[in-house]
């Protein structure tokens, strides 16, 4: 009897005490990590010869950067775990649905929608 109860508790344990954060929305612009840290594409556009934010972000990622979300209201840059989803929106204002990771500077992306 005790052994059966113990096994039943172990089987149920993975769901106990493990609270997953609910998805939140984050708004901003999909930039490359370098420009996001500066809060602007201005400097990099000149050095990369880019004509717009999309060209700049793509060129900077090709040079070793990563796609990031820059929130101009909070003046914060967030790393994005799903680079493929972010690439489709390079240089655009978006709303990202996802979970802020424990360190507070990275978002686990579950969805991306074009912003206004």
Residue pair 108/99 in contact (Cβ under 8 Å)? The answer is yes
Q: Write phi, then psi, for 51 (nearest 5 degrees).
A: -90, -20
Give 71's pLDDT tier (boundaries 50, 70, 90).
Answer: very high
Write the DSSP symbol of residue 56: H
Query: Which pLDDT value is given to residue 47?
Result: 80
- Compute the distance between CA of residue 17 and CA of residue 80 in angstroms, rounded to an integer: 27
Q: Can you give the pTM of this predicted structure?
A: 0.77
108 occurs within a structural domain:
yes
Give 16's pLDDT tier (boundaries 50, 70, 90).
Answer: very low
Q: Which domain holds residue 92?
A: 21-114
14 occurs within a structural domain:
no
H/E/C letters for each residue in 77-99?
Answer: EEEECCHHHHHCCCCCEEEEEEE
5 occurs within a structural domain:
no
What is the tally of structural domains in the chain? Answer: 1
pLDDT tens-digit readout, 88-111: 999 999 999 999 988 889 999 999
Give 69's pLDDT tier (boundaries 50, 70, 90).
Answer: very high
8 occurs within a structural domain:
no
Residue 58 predicted with pLDDT over 70: yes
- Compute the distance between CA of residue 110 and CA of residue 21 in angstroms, rounded to an integer: 13
Four-residue CA torsion sign, 78, 80, 85, 88: positive
Give 21's pLDDT tier (boundaries 50, 70, 90).
Answer: low
């Amino acid at each position: 009897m005790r052994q059966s109860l113990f096994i039943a508790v172990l089987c149920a344990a993975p769901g106990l005490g493990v609270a997953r954060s609910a998805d939140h929305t984050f708004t901003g612009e999909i930039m490359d990590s370098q420009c996001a840290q500066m809060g602007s594409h201005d400097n990099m556009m000149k050095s990369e010869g880019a004509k717009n934010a999309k060209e700049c972000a793509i060129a900077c990622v090709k040079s070793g950067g990563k796609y990031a979300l820059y929130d101009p209201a909070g003046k914060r840059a967030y790393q994005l775990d799903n680079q493929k989803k972010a690439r489709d929106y390079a240089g655009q204002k978006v709303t990202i649905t996802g979970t802020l990771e424990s360190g507070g500077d990275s978002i686990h992306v579950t969805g991306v929608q074009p912003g206004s």
